[in-house]
Amino acid sequence: MYIEFSLPQGAGGIVSSVIYQRLKQEVERWSAKYNIRYTEKVIKYTYRVAFDDDETYTYFQLTWPDDNWQKYRIIRDLNNRT
């Protein structure tokens, strides 16, 4: 299970890089605020964030700001990507 943020494509990856850096900062800020450890990975044009415990995903949904500019999705089934 992991959280996936989509990164924009085009412009030689410059826009993607800028959005990735901003997302990374926001996730780091969230992690520090709630004292939660995570792992991260960028694959193609997606930024993935994973936690050790499944309960943390629920906590993330409850505490991540609703008005955040970047939406995410939780990938539960790694084979079907739903």
How do the domains of the chain map onto residue ranges? 2-75
Q: Cβ atoms within 10 A of the Cβ of 25, count?
A: 10
Asked if residue 78 has pLDDT above 60, the reply is yes
Asked if residue 81 has pLDDT above 60, the reply is no
pLDDT category, 80, cuts 50, 70, 90?
low
Q: pLDDT, tens digit, for every residue of 10-65?
A: 767 788 888 899 999 999 999 999 999 999 999 988 999 999 999 999 999 999 88
pTM of the model: 0.83
What residues contact 36, with CB distance under 8 A and at least 6 apart? Answer: 30, 51, 56, 59, 60
Listing DSSP states for 9-74 in one string gives --GGGHHHHHHHHHHHHHHHHHHHHHT---EEEEETTEEEEE-SSTHHHHHHHHHS-TT-SS--EE
pLDDT on residue 27: 94
